[in-house]
Structure 1
Amino acid sequence: MRSKLSVDESMVPYYGRHSAKMFIQGMPLRFGYKIWAPCGSDGYPYKLKLYRGKEPGQTKLHLGTRVVNDMMSTTESCLAVTKNEVYFDNFFTLYDLLKSRAEQNIKATGTVRDNRTAGAAKLMKPNAVMKKNTRGEFDFRCDGRAFVCKWKDNSIVTIASNTRSLAPS
């Protein structure tokens, strides 16, 4: 059995005073509580975790990596699945996260920021050149562990995945 999960954040509106209240500029819902959640393809969340800011004694791992590791440890213990696929946005996606998920035989895919591709983005065409291309053109790099692809849509979109580095199922 296969499980497809998405890890993302959500804002719960709150305009009162509380130390856990967040302000995120540029979001439709700017004030409120940030909640992390892994959700299945059926739309149900498997865990909700309130983000309370920096916690004492945190490891040096990236925040997105810590959140995904925490969310996946919960889903692995409560779901009777043999294989997982996880999807996330550019807040979470990091080359090291994709590599660690591959070591655990978990397929992971997400949009990625150019500075989080472990140098792959520097080997591809620059964004200024890609913007001049016609819609649908792309450039990619793969090191056997992760695949990074940059393509021209309305803007330049970069994704990274470890799905091709894992054995087919």
Structure 2
Amino acid sequence: MRVFIGICLYMSIVDMPFRRMYWASHSRQNAVADNMTCNRFEEILSLLHLNDNELMEPRGHPHHDPLFKVRPLLTKLNENFEKCAEKENCIAVDEMMVPFKGRHALKVYLMKKPKKWGYKVWVNAGQSGYVHKFIFAGESVLKTNDEYFEKKDLKKKGRGVFDFRVDGKKSVMVCKWFDNKIVAVASNVEGLYPTHMVKRSVNKDTRYDHIDHFPKKTVVKYAQRCKLEGCPGKTKYLCRKCCVDLCIDSKEQDESCFFFITTEKAMT
């Protein structure tokens, strides 16, 4: 069995498209083929059980465990994770994908992950990158009775609004705020305040003055032809934002070329 487990670990590092390629003549891996035959490996893999299937609760039961068949292995791994490294002061909880493209009810698809198909797990990781514990998180419905703002209420108030709760006994702060989407975070290191205004975009072309058009009067002798199609006049006004000459002198403000080109009229 130790040889079988060692081969499984080796396969997770030296990845090949098909399992039998580790024993094939053109892609033979001596570390695998010299220690166990292909037929023996596949026989153990097909008959291996980590738990008693007779004790498994059926799907829909309140105590149903979707990972019942491998639960002893996961429990042992988490126990050894705690023993093999000292606990760190700063840790974070985040999701991680275990790549898998086979057929299984627990498989999920996350579009923005580098590995989009697989099992999603929540990991308790430190600053060093070491995983102290991991918990499987599949597709399930969790009914809660919290007193946070609902998603639609946060959207109505606009980006930047937040709500929070503090557990004084355990010194844990939980905050939910509205950014491009709802974001929730829990921490026992950092508090909520103070809050600061930040610049979200790093685009060099971003206009921090929030002004799209700004007309500037030039010298009369440098008057140019109005760039609006169909206008025969000349203008001494130049838009400093888009560098376009447009008429701004008009008896009616909403009839000037500058007003026309910088409003929704230009889209009709």
- State the TM-score, normalizing by the size of structure 2: 0.28
Name the structure where strand makes up a greater proportion of residues. Answer: 1
Larger C-alpha radius of gyration, 1 or 2? 2
- State the TM-score, normalizing by the size of structure 1: 0.42
Task: Flag the structure with more relative contact order, 1 or 2, with Cα contacts below 8 A and sequence separation at least 6.
Answer: 1
